[in-house]
């Protein structure tokens, strides 16, 4: 077994989070027609080395600041400086929690137990990322728990966007002292309903302002041998699960992101990769050698959507930066897209008295500022074992 296949011990990891601090500040004040004036809060998680900013609008990660090899801080996720950007129709889900169901549902409908449910359409004839007013557009309640964990909660009412059942959702964020950002998404319901939630951060380890030039200097590896085939017209799954070998989607070894996009004829990538749903394990690695920054992604879910910002165009982002195509990439851990209509896909049904849980862990590292020689050796050994095990 390759070391990357070894499950992450989340309980052991969470014992090392006591060095983190969380501070609260006002991000914005907005006037809502049904509620009047509402304050949007920002929470900053810091461990003295890196920091993460999260707002309770959309339970959104707005900033991740990480030093490079020389100690220079950069913000490595795309986003906006103000609430107007996040509430704008031009916001392509920057950093938010998406739900009730991430990705596309074909025909904005599904059948279950003899009933047909009709959902809101917000992507042609389909439902995307929860519908017209998904979780990304909700104001979540927030609470700092035990001084080092941020919990955000939202109650989605029965038939919101067409989905049955009241759904109680809690997203828990913890930043450990050794640079793991742990995101635990939990939910419960009173009626059978589909649930498939994720975080939708756009990463550029060179810095959010560096655009396609910065992204093209990354290398990416996804530890998956299969993907869900898409219909080229609807961009929804055909139902087939195909091998990545000898296709554009084979990135089981570190691959230049720039070369990958060029091989796509500059159309970019937007595809779901498939994993066994058995443990919290590494599913992807992203590395930017010029800065020394890297990201290791763990998930307990059976899929991850790779999206290379193909549809981002002329978006005014943070610090006056204009975001364009291929300026970042998303790694969205998830259940398979359109699983409600593809019976052979892993189930995303949540039943009353059951608990939905999705664990996502982002491990950040800076090569020349690594915690110790032993960490460097562990990383090197991991890479070696994966290369030896690669098909």
Residue among 4, 129, 161, 200 flagged as catalytic: 200
Was 88 annotated as part of a binding site? no
Indicate whether 1 pLDDT > 80: no
> What average pLDDT score do residues 35-62 get?
96
Using the CB atoms, write b or e for 194-215: b if 16+ within 10 Å: bbbbbbbbbbbbbbbbbbbebb
Was 270 annotated as part of a binding site? yes
CA distance readout (Å), 203 to 177, 248, 269, 286 = 21, 21, 15, 9
CA dist., res. 88 & res. 84, Å (int): 6
Q: What is the DSSP string of 209-231?
A: GGHHHHHHT-EEEE--SEEEEE-
Was 301 annotated as part of a binding site? no
Was 126 annotated as part of a binding site? no
Is 332 considered catalytic here? yes
Surface-to-core class of residue 242, CB atoms within 10 Å of its CB (0-12 exposed, 13-18 middle, 19+ buried): middle
pLDDT of 383: 38
> What average pLDDT score do residues 36-47 get?
96
pLDDT of 16: 58
Q: What is the pLDDT of residues 15-35, one digit of tens each?
A: 655 668 999 999 999 998 888
| C-alpha radius of gyration, the chain, whole number | 20
Residue among 160, 161, 332, 379 flagged as catalytic: 332
pLDDT of 32: 86
182: left (phi over 0), alpha (psi -120 to 50) or beta: beta
Cα angle 349, 285, 364; round to 5: 100
Asked whether 189 and 166 are in contact (CB, 8 A), the reply is yes
pLDDT of 27: 98
Nearest to 177 by CA among 280, 76, 48: 48
Was 68 annotated as part of a binding site? no
pTM: 0.92
Nearest to 209 by CA among 132, 92, 322, 357: 322
Pairing relation of β-strands 51-55 and 356-366?
unpaired
Is 288 considered catalytic here? no
Q: What is the pLDDT of residues 96-106, one digit of tens each?
A: 999 999 999 99
**Domain 10-382 class in CATH:** mainly beta
Was 202 annotated as part of a binding site? yes
Indicate the domain borders of the chain. Answer: 10-382
């Amino acid at each position: 077994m390759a070391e990357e296949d070894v499950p992450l011990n989340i309980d052991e990891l969470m014992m090392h989070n006591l060095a983190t601090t969380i501070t609260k500040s006002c991000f914005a004040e907005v006037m809502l027609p049904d509620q009047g004036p509402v304050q949007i809060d920002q929470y900053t998680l810091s461990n003295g080395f890196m920091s993460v900013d999260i707002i309770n609008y959309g339970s959104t990660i707005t900033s991740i600041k990480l030093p490079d090899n020389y100690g220079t801080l950069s913000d490595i996720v795309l986003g906006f400086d103000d609430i107007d950007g996040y509430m704008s129709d031009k916001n392509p889900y920057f950093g938010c929690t998406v739900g009730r169901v991430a990705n596309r549902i074909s025909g904005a409908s599904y059948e279950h137990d003899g009933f047909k449910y009709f959902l809101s359409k917000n992507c042609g004839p389909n439902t995307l990322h929860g519908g017209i007013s998904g979780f990304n557009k909700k104001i979540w309640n927030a609470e700092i728990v035990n001084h080092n964990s941020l919990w955000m909660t939202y109650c989605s009412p029965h038939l919101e966007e067409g989905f049955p059942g009241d759904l109680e959702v809690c997203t828990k964020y913890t930043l450990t002292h050794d640079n793991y950002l742990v995101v635990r998404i939990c939910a419960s319901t009173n009626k059978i309903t589909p649930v498939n939630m994720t975080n939708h951060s756009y990463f550029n380890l060179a810095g959010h302002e560096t655009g396609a030039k910065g992204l093209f200097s990354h290398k990416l590896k996804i530890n998956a041998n299969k993907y869900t085939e898409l219909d080229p017209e609807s961009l929804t799954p055909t139902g087939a699960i195909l091998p990545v070998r000898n296709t554009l989607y084979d990135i089981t070894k570190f691959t230049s992101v720039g070369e990958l996009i060029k091989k796509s004829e500059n159309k970019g990538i937007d595809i779901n990769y498939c994993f066994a749903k058995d443990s919290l394990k590494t599913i992807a690695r992203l590395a930017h050698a010029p800065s020394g920054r890297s990201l290791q992604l763990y998930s307990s879910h059976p899929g991850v959507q790779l999206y290379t910002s193909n549809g981002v165009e002329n978006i005014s982002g943070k610090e006056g930066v204009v975001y364009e195509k291929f300026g970042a990439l998303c790694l969205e851990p998830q259940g398979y897209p359109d699983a409600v209509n593809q019976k052979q896909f892993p189930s995303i049904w949540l039943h009353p008295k059951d608990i939905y849980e999705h664990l996502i862990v982002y491990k950040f590292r800076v090569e020349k500022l690594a915690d110790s020689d032993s960490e460097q050796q562990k990383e090197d050994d991991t890479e070696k074992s994966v290369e030896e095990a690669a098909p």
